[in-house]
C-alpha cells in the first residue's frame, strides 16, 4: 500500500514537473504563486530544483489533506437555496398586525392591506440578509479549505530549506 502511494506521488510529481518545464519558466505561473505562497530558496536552490520541490510538495500536500486546490478554486459557487418563504411570512404577519390596527382605526381591510405590503418588504429584506449570510459562509469555508492546503504545502517547502511567506 505504501509502495503504491509512493509510486503515485512520484508519477504526479514527474507529470507536474514535465508540464511546468514544458511551458517554460517565463510563461508558466509557478505552483506556489498560484497558491498565493512565496517560497524563498534560502539554501541557494536553483529554479529547476524549486520547481521540482514545488511539484513534489503540491502532490504531498494534496495527498495529506485530501484537498485539490485547483478544484477548490474553480468550483462554482453553491446554488442559492430555494426561497424560504420570508416574504409570504412577512406579508401574513403584516396583515395580522395591520388588521388589528385597522380595527382600532375603523377599517380592518385597509389596515390589513397596508400591513401586508409592509410585511412583504420586511420579509424581502430578511431573505436578502439570509442569502448574504449563506454566501459569506460558503466563501469562508472555501478560504479555510485553501488555507489548510497552503499550510501543508508550506510545511513541506520549509522542510526542504525554503522560507515561506
Q: Which residues contact 159 (CB under 8 A, 6 or more apart)?
A: none
**H or E element: which one contains 46?**
none
User: 35: exposed, middle or buried (C-beta count within 10 Å: 0-12, 13-18, 19+)?
Assistant: buried
Tell me the average pLDDT across 28-40. 85
Q: How far apart (Å, rounded) are the C-alpha atoms in residues 53 and 161?
A: 10
Residue 150 near residue 65 (C-beta atoms within 8 A):
no
Backbone angles phi, psi at 78, to 5 degrees: -60, 145
The pLDDT tens digits for 98-146 are 666 766 767 666 666 666 666 666 666 777 877 877 888 877 878 888 9
If you count them, how many residues does the chain have? 165
Average pLDDT, the chain: 76
Residue-wise pLDDT tens digits, 20-33: 555 444 435 788 88
Cα atoms found within 13 Å of the Cα of residue 42, Cβ hemisphere only: 11
What predicted TM-score, i.e. pTM, was given to this entire model? 0.57
Give the gyration radius of the chain's Cα atoms.
28
From the list 51, 54, 39, 127, the residue with the least C-alpha distance to 89 is 127
- Residue corresponding to grid cell 472555501: 142
The total of other beta-carbon atoms located within 10 Å of residue 72's CB is 15
In a 3-state reduction of DSSP, which class is residue 41?
Answer: strand
pLDDT, position 66: 94
Give tens-digit pLDDT for 78-90: 665 566 676 666 6
Amino acid at each position: 500500500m505504501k509502495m503504491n502511494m509512493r509510486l503515485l506521488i512520484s508519477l504526479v510529481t514527474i507529470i507536474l514537473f514535465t508540464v511546468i518545464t514544458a511551458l517554460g519558466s517565463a510563461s508558466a505561473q509557478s505552483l506556489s504563486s498560484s497558491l498565493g505562497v512565496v517560497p524563498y530558496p534560502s539554501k541557494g536552490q536553483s529554479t529547476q530544483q524549486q520547481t521540482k520541490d514545488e511539484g513534489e510538495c503540491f502532490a504531498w500536500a494534496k495527498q495529506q489533506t485530501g484537498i485539490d486546490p485547483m478544484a477548490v478554486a474553480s468550483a462554482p459557487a453553491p446554488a442559492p437555496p430555494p426561497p424560504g418563504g420570508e416574504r409570504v411570512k412577512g406579508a401574513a404577519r403584516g396583515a395580522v398586525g395591520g388588521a388589528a390596527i385597522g380595527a382600532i382605526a375603523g377599517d380592518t381591510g385597509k389596515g390589513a392591506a397596508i400591513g401586508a405590503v409592509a410585511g412583504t418588504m420586511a420579509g424581502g429584506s430578511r431573505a436578502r440578509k439570509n442569502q448574504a449570510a449563506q454566501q459569506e459562509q460558503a466563501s469562508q469555508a472555501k478560504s479555510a479549505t485553501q488555507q489548510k492546503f497552503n499550510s501543508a504545502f508550506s510545511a513541506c517547502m520549509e522542510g526542504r530549506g525554503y522560507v515561506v511567506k
